[in-house]
Amino acid sequence: METARQIVHLDALTGLPSRASFEQGLAHELIQAKRHGRSLAVLFIDIDKFKSINDSYGHGMGDLVLLTVANRLKSFVRGGDMVSRWSGDEFVCVLLEVKEEADVARFAHQLVNRIAEPCEFNGTVISIRSSVGIAMYSAHGEEADILFNNADIAMYKAKGSKKRVVVFHTDPTPL
């Protein structure tokens, strides 16, 4: 019974909260943010060119990269913040009780730098690059699905940018 519960609540590879568990946590935090007039930030994080890592080094190496990114995310966020593997090579993070967009952007840049620190697996050094899109409650949406969508759109804009790895979605209406 406990193993079944863990399967539902945890990602099998990374041990991070599952998507369903993360969505429940975010729903609770949005209620709290609304009730107490707080802001929060949703960060959509994608590992750049992950397919080429799998193609070049194999899926076992890809799994090690995902595990490394998960551990770096867990160790980087504050205790009350949430991190989850969303799917494949995508992760999401919710930063609670944030004050300024500039602070979130600074945090996201530091996070990208932390993810990019070199890693060595069995003598092979791999450089991990990531792109981050950010949506802020309530400036970029008030519902979880809108925030996720806007952060995802921002992440794709970040992927298309050579200079910027962090992009705020500025149009609060989803496509």
Q: Determine whether 103 is an active site residue.
A: no
Structure tokens, 52: 């080429």
End-to-end CA distance of the chain: 41
Structure tokens, 41: 């930030």
**Half-sphere exposure (Cβ direction) of 47: Cα atoms closer than 13 Å:** 29
Instruction: Put residue 141 in one of left, alpha, beta given phi > 0 → left and psi -120 to 50 → alpha.
Output: left
Whether 48 contacts 130, CB under 8 Å: yes
Point out the catalytic residue in the list 11, 46, 89, 152: 89
Active site residues: 89
